[in-house]
Amino acid sequence: MKYENLTIENDGAICVVTINRPESLNALNNKTLTELEHVFDMLTDNNTIRVVILTGSGTKSFVAGADIKEFLEVAPANGGGVAQRGQDIFFKIENLNKPVIAAVNGFALGGGCELAMACHLRIASENAKFAQPEVNLGIIAGYGGTQRLVQYVGKTKAMELHLTGDMINAAEAQTLGLVNNVVPIEQLLDECKKIAAKIISKSPEAVAGVIRSINAYFEEGTNGYKVEVEEFGKVFNSGNFIEGVHAFIEKRKPNFK
How many of the other CB atoms lie within 10 Å of CB of 84? Answer: 12
β-strand partners of 125 = 183
d(CA 199, CA 221): 30
Please report which residue ranges of the chain form alpha helices under DSSP H.
Answer: 30-44, 68-71, 79-94, 111-118, 145-153, 155-164, 170-176, 188-200, 204-216, 224-236, 239-249
d(CA 212, CA 19): 26
Q: Is 230 among the catalytic positions?
A: no
Q: Is 231 among the catalytic positions?
A: no
Task: Give the active site residue among 114, 191, 205, 231.
Answer: 114
Give the Å distances, CA to CA, from 208 to 19, 21, 27, 120, 168. Answer: 25, 31, 30, 11, 32
- Please state the separation of Cα 78 from the chain's center in Å: 26
Confirm if 148 and 115 have CB atoms less than 8 A apart. no
d(CA 185, CA 106): 9
Please report which residue ranges of 2-78 form alpha helices under DSSP H.
Answer: 30-44, 68-71
Task: Give the active site residue among 35, 37, 126, 134.
Answer: 134
Question: Could you tell me whether strands 121-125 and 51-56 are parallel, antiparallel, or unpaired per DSSP bridges?
Answer: unpaired
Q: Which residues are catalytic?
A: 114, 134
